């Protein structure tokens, strides 16, 4: 168990800042996801935590102690990588036991701890098998078990599920979350998959182009994205964005979109304007409802261009004037392609971003 502080850390490769001025505090025993697209700096951050890279500037502290130059082996961390590094000539048992054997623990203790870890992971029956006889799914469990067994203070996972099939991934998400809660271990999970981050992590650090964009709970990053990048990155169907102008009426803001037939929307700002004059409004596809195109409640009207039937929900794509919008509807709602529809939005769910800074005002 350990508390982590990343203070003003920058990592430069040549002229390129892979990570810029990163400040992050990770409480002891929390499950944190580092989320972002490829090239955002999440893996560089992970590598600085693990000791494979040294920060160019700034400090990394574990439990108040600076670890910048400490070797990976001296940091008391456990790793699980995307390409689980398993010893193929050993049994599952020997792979899991490896860390304890190296530490020369007594045989009975090793036996007991391996069984315990295997039980937590549901692989007790596979312990005697050689790893070549195991499925990809079980191999990943062995890899997790091998890292867990030394009870590292910090557990680092770098996209560990990306080679697994989707069904098993969804099962492992719940398993890992349960495991982390039982072990009360500080866990840092790197992923580009917002579903994984949202579903497992207590807090999510979202990065883009080397910079931290937001650090918050899944609820915060989903419902109160700090900027347009976060708003677009989090959510299983991307947020709709439209240009808008702002007018003040008392404490409220009136949004007017340059879309033919659009009704203005009134919202309450949560932060002051930053002197910008160009803005974008955002609304999630699940916060729009399809209504009759003639309905007085319709905020916009559009024409259906595409329907993605995903099973539990349908995504309706439509065009309104020059813009493409997406709406999430129940599986029973199936408008025809080419059909005219009205859109009603929940104005409490509307976001507004400054175009210059990307910062959220609403």
Q: Which residues bind other proteins (CB under 8 A)?
A: 37-38, 136, 165-167, 170-171, 173-175, 177-178, 181, 192-195, 198-200, 218-219, 222-223, 232-238, 284, 286, 305-306, 308-312, 315, 317, 328
Residue among 19 and 328 whose Cβ is closer to other proteins: 328
What distance in Å separates the CA atoms of residue 189 and residue 78, rounded to the nearest whole number?
12
Min dist. Cβ of residue 253 to other proteins (A): 24
Min dist. Cβ of residue 63 to other proteins (A): 26
What is each CA distance from 263 to 105, 152, 345, 354, in whole angstroms? 71, 57, 11, 21
Distance of CA 342 to the CA centre of its chain: 33
Q: CB of 239 within 8 A of CB of 351?
A: yes
What distance in Å separates the CA atoms of residue 73 and residue 55, rounded to the nearest whole number?
17
- Rounded CA Rg of the chain: 24
Min dist. Cβ of residue 317 to other proteins (A): 6
Q: Which residues of 115-128 are buried (b: 16+ CB within 10 A; e: fewer)?
A: eebbebbebeebbe
Helix, strand, coil fractions of the chain, as percent rounded to 5 = 30, 35, 35
> How are beta strands 31-35 and 203-208 bridged, if at all?
parallel
Residue among 81 and 222 whose Cβ is closer to other proteins: 222
Beta bridge partners of 344: 289
What distance in Å separates the CA atoms of residue 8 and residue 59, rounded to the nearest whole number?
7
Min dist. Cβ of residue 217 to other proteins (A): 9
Residue among 1 and 307 whose Cβ is closer to other proteins: 307
Min dist. Cβ of residue 75 to other proteins (A): 28
Residue among 228 and 284 whose Cβ is closer to other proteins: 284
Min dist. Cβ of residue 25 to other proteins (A): 22
Residue among 115 and 177 whose Cβ is closer to other proteins: 177
Widest CA span in the chain: 77
Residue among 253 and 329 whose Cβ is closer to other proteins: 329
Residue among 111 and 321 whose Cβ is closer to other proteins: 321
Min dist. Cβ of residue 313 to other proteins (A): 8
Residue among 38 and 132 whose Cβ is closer to other proteins: 38
Min dist. Cβ of residue 167 to other proteins (A): 4
Which of 14, 134, 139 is CA-nearest to residue 81? Answer: 139
- DSSP codes, 278-334: -EEEEE-GGGEEEE-TT-TT-SEEEEEEEEEE-SS-EEEEEEETTEEEEEEE-TT--
Residue among 197 and 253 whose Cβ is closer to other proteins: 197
Min dist. Cβ of residue 100 to other proteins (A): 28
CA dihedral 85, 89, 93, 95 (to 10 degrees): -30
CA dihedral 179, 184, 185, 191 (to 10 degrees): 50
């Amino acid at each position: 168990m350990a508390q982590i502080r990343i203070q003003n850390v920058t990592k430069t490769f040549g002229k390129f800042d892979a990570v810029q001025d990163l400040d992050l505090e990770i409480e002891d025993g929390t499950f944190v996801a580092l989320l972002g697209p490829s090239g955002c700096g999440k893996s560089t951050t992970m590598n600085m935590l693990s000791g494979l890279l040294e920060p160019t500037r700034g400090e990394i502290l574990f439990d108040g102690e600076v670890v910048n130059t400490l070797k990976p082996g001296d940091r008391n961390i456990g790793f699980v990588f995307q390409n689980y590094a398993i010893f193929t000539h050993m049994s599952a048992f020997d792979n899991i036991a490896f860390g304890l054997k190296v530490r020369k623990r007594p045989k009975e203790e090793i036996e007991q701890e391996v069984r315990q870890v295997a039980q937590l992971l549901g692989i007790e029956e596979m312990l005697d098998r050689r790893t070549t006889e195991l499925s990809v799914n079980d191999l990943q469990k062995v890899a997790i078990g091998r890292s867990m067994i030394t009870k590292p203070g910090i557990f680092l996972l770098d996209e560990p599920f990306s080679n697994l099939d989707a069904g098993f991934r969804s099962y492992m998400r719940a398993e890992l979350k349960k495991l982390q809660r039982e072990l009360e271990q500080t866990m840092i999970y790197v992923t580009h998959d917002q579903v994984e981050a949202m579903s497992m992590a207590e807090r999510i650090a979202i990065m883009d182009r080397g910079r931290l964009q937001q650090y918050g709970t899944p609820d915060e990053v989903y419902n109160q994205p700090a900027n347009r990048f976060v708003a677009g990155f989090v959510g299983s169907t991307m947020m709709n964005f439209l240009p808008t102008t702002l007018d003040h009426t008392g404490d409220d803001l009136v949004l007017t979109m340059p879309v033919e037939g659009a009704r203005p929307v009134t919202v309450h700002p949560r932060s002051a304007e930053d002197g910008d004059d160009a803005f974008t409004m955002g609304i999630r596809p699940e916060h729009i409802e399809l209504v009759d195109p003639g309905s007085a409640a319709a905020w916009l009207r559009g024409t259906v261009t595409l329907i993605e039937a995903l099973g539990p929900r349908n995504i309706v794509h439509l065009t309104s004037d020059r813009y493409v919008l997406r709406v999430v509807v129940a599986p029973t709602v199936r408008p025809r392609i080419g059909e005219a529809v009205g859109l009603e939005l929940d104005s409490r769910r509307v976001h507004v971003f400054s175009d210059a800074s990307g910062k959220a005002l609403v």
